[in-house]
A and B are shown apart, each in its own frame.
Chain A
């Protein structure tokens, strides 16, 4: 008996470890509404995080401004070279006209999305670890946010709501390893599944589009939109641009590396949209 007491701390720690593992398994599936503790703690931290986030963004911008000023001369020369290039490009007005046409289509998609918009929201935190890619926004159930709603910016799809509290919600971004979005190539309507690039630690900001048909002629530069399959994301939201196409000899499908239109490092305002279908 005294021996048992001598080892009491170790036994407590082992019990705690087992308890935590049980808790982990128990909460792995089906935790979609924030618990009461979560709600209260999150609510208390929201204003603090908001302030800190915008303060740090201000400092970041300040420093990047100084850096830009130092490079002014080099920038000036670069710009001159670019002006020369652009004059040449002016002759390709017709080409631009076509591009305009395409962009108009995108704007149309965006207008449709505006009608489905539930609320605008501000990003207040990114998860601190290096392993997952979730963000927290400052709008929750009392603003009409519901589970599985899509989150977008004017640059494209950000992700979907995975947890809702009263005054804040968690968003799983499309670059997270656990994220899967059904996508479509805008030009040739090929379907595929967009996964976050978790094999690179989900921090390189890219996605993989897998299960593209083998005969697909998808090329770098193609635009990827959501396909609306799966009924989570509304159809036709811009996701990103194909950067590289990979065809493994052993596989029956093509894979495209997609760079999302959204810059996840500097995310500030987002729009929550509902899928009204």
Chain B
């Protein structure tokens, strides 16, 4: 049940991201709602969930749009895992923590992208990329964060979302 719900959210997000977001571009960047979803799940449910949501969300994006497999999966899984580590160790309020986590995650994601572009020799100057993509993307994503985080937090008030993951031990 929970797996299905998360998968449905990821697919819906991908569809919205690829079809609606091109029309709401500001300064040529689009917000990264998958990142917000990954961070939200990681903050609200801790670790297998955070890393897995990032991994699968990123993989779907790679499969459908990527130049090569694994790039987005790597970014979102790393982010999901790192944020998931914090689960249970600090108090997650409704606004400040999600915003801080999303901002940091966006930077981590940007750094991974810069690394990829370095090894891929795509010739994008890091400084320019930082100013023209990473910073505006972060700001735009932050604006969208409260909305999505509230949504996912609301989802977590349902009981079925709170069960522990079981990897079919009883078969």
* Residues in A lying within 8 Å of B, measured CB to CB: 9, 13, 16-17, 20-21, 23-28, 31, 35, 37-38, 41-42, 45, 48-49, 52-53, 55-57, 59-60, 124-132, 134, 136, 170, 177-178, 198-201, 203-204, 265
Contacting B23 at CB < 8 Å: which of A17, A60, A125?
A60
Residue of A nearest to B65 (CB): A127
Chain A CB within 8 A of B39 CB: no
Contacts of A178 in B (CB 8 A): 67, 122
The residue on B at minimum CB distance from A124 is B19
Interface status of B170 (Cβ within 8 A of chain A): no
The answer to whether A129 touches B63, judged by C-beta atoms less than 8 angstroms apart, is: no
6 CB contacts below 8 A, A to B, read: A24-B71, A25-B68, A28-B68, A45-B14, A128-B65, A134-B67
Please report the C-alpha to C-alpha distance between residue A20 and residue B115 in the assembled complex, in whole angstroms.
15
User: Which A residues touch B49, using CB under 8 A?
Assistant: none
Candidates A13, A16, A23, A52; contact of B19 at CB < 8 Å: A52
A128 touches B20 (CB 8 A): no
Q: Is the CB of A201 within 8 A of B19?
A: no
A199 to B60, CA, bound (A): 27
Which chain B positions have C-beta within 8 A of A48? 15
Contact B125 A199, beta carbon cutoff 8 Å: yes
* Contact partners of A26 in chain B: CB under 8 A: 69
Q: In whole angstroms, what is the CA distance A203 to B129 when docked?
A: 11
In contact, A130 and B74 (Cβ under 8 angstroms)? no
Q: How far is B92's CA from A222's CA once the two chains are assembled, in angstroms?
A: 58
Contact-residue size bin, chain B (C-beta under 8 Å from the other chain): 35 or more
Q: Is B97 an interface residue (CB 8 A)?
A: no
Known: A17-B78, A23-B69, A24-B74. A130 touches B137 (CB 8 A): yes
- Interface pair A128/B124, CB less than 8 Å apart: no
Chain A CB within 8 A of B155 CB: no
In the complex, chain A residues whose CB is within 8 Å of the CB of B29: 130, 203
Task: List which B45-61 residues lie within 8 A (CB) of chain A.
Answer: 47-48, 51, 55, 60-61
Residues of A within 8 A of B11 (CB): 45
Contact between A201 and B69, CB atoms less than 8 A apart: no
The answer, yes or no, to whether B64 is at the interface (CB within 8 Å) is yes
**Contact status of A128 and B61, CB under 8 A, knowing A17-B74, A17-B78, A45-B15:** yes
Assuming the contacts A129-B65, A203-B29, asked whether A177 and B14 have C-beta atoms less than 8 A apart, the reply is no
B132 contacts partner chain A, Cβ-Cβ < 8 Å: yes
Q: B69 to chain A: which residues have CB within 8 Å?
A: 23-24, 26-27, 31
Contact B28 A204 (CB under 8 A): yes
Nearest CB of B to A83, in Å? 33
Shortest 10 CB-CB distances between A and B: which pairs? A203-B28, A52-B19, A127-B65, A128-B17, A24-B70, A23-B70, A125-B18, A20-B70, A53-B19, A27-B68
Question: Judging by beta carbons under 8 Å apart, are A130 and B47 in contact?
Answer: no
Closest residue to A127 on the B side, CB-wise? B65
Q: State in angstroms the CA–CA spacing of A126 and B128 once bound together.
A: 23
Please name all residues of chain B whose beta carbon is closer than 8 Å to the beta carbon of A204 when the two chains form the complex. Answer: 28
Contact: B22 with A265, CB < 8 Å? Answer: yes
Q: How far is the CA of A85 from the CA of B67 in the complex (A)?
A: 49
Chain A residues with CB below 8 A from B63, complex form: 35, 37-38, 41-42
Query: Shortest Cβ distance from B31 into chain A, in angstroms?
Result: 10
**Closest B-chain residue to A9, C-beta based?**
B47
Residues from chain B with a CB closer than 8 A to the CB of A125 are 18-19, 64-65
Beta-carbon contact of B77 and A52 below 8 Å: no
Interface 0/1 of B33-52, CB less than 8 Å to A: 01000000000000110010
Q: Is B149 an interface residue (CB 8 A)?
A: no
